[in-house]
A = this chain, B = another copy of it.
Amino acid sequence: MPANKVPDIVVGRLPLYLRALSQMAGEGKEITSSQELGGQLGISSAQIRKDLSQFGEFGKQGTGYNINFLFDQLKRILKIERVWDVVLIGAGDLGSAVANYGGFLDRGFRIAAIYDNDPEKVGQPVGQFLIRSTRNLIDEIRTQQIKIAMLAVPASEAQQVSEKLVEAGIEAIMCYAPTSLFVPDNVRVEYIDPLLHLQHMTYYLPE
């Protein structure tokens, strides 16, 4: 991982800013402010200005941000002015829903293939894909030099599959399985587990 001085929590907010800017652009807006962005995202305007200032000068005091310009700059910073190929492992209910989701390409990603280890699923269609066997997963990912994987397998299989992905050269894993993966330091993992969010919210609910 490159030595980089911007705190990860700041990097993690950039995609949120990007999504809000995209929504504004879709509504035909051309200019926004840190106040407006913050209001939409529940983040203070000072935080937004501070976050963006880590990467350069994107607006002038008093005139706000040009939405398209800031959008393009954030895409460049996040390296999604290009489209990244992603493999999806697991063609169960969740994997199939992910495969059918149409929102990847607009936001910088393309599902290149979907894999499953169930012989009854291999060769079957899901969305626009035919499910591939995990048997040749390592070679196929390596040949295509794909760096990103989404993992939608049961928790009990997630570690083993992640080791194969690492061997195949994957450097970023988005894990839907409710478990922690042990991977080398050069591999990043982000987790999606709805229960973590639900349990976070109940803390604030009256009994």
Q: How far is the CA of A198 from the CA of B147 in the complex (A)?
A: 11
Chain B residues positioned under 8 Å from A77 (CB to CB): 203
A120 to chain B, nearest CB (A): 18
Classify chain A: how many residues form its interface, as a range: 35 or more
| A:158-207 near B, CB below 8 Å | 171-172, 174, 178-180, 182, 188, 190, 192-207
**A142 CB within 8 Å of chain B:** no
Interface residues of A in 1-35 (CB under 8 A from B): 1-2, 4, 11-12, 14-16, 18-20, 23
What B residues does A40 contact at CB under 8 A? 180, 182
A176 closest partner in B (C-beta) = B194
Cβ of A199 and Cβ of B1 under 8 Å apart? no
In the complex this chain forms, how many copies of it are found? Answer: 2
Shortest 5 CB-CB distances between A and B: which pairs? A93-B97, A15-B199, A190-B197, A172-B201, A15-B196
A171 CA to B202 CA, complexed, in Å? 10
Given contacts A15-B199, A188-B204, contact A100 B109 (CB under 8 A): no
Tell me how far the C-beta of A160 lies from the nearest C-beta in chain B, rounded to whole angstroms: 15
Complex interface: stretch among A62-70, A79-87, A128-136: A79-87
Interface presence of A121 (CB below 8 A): no
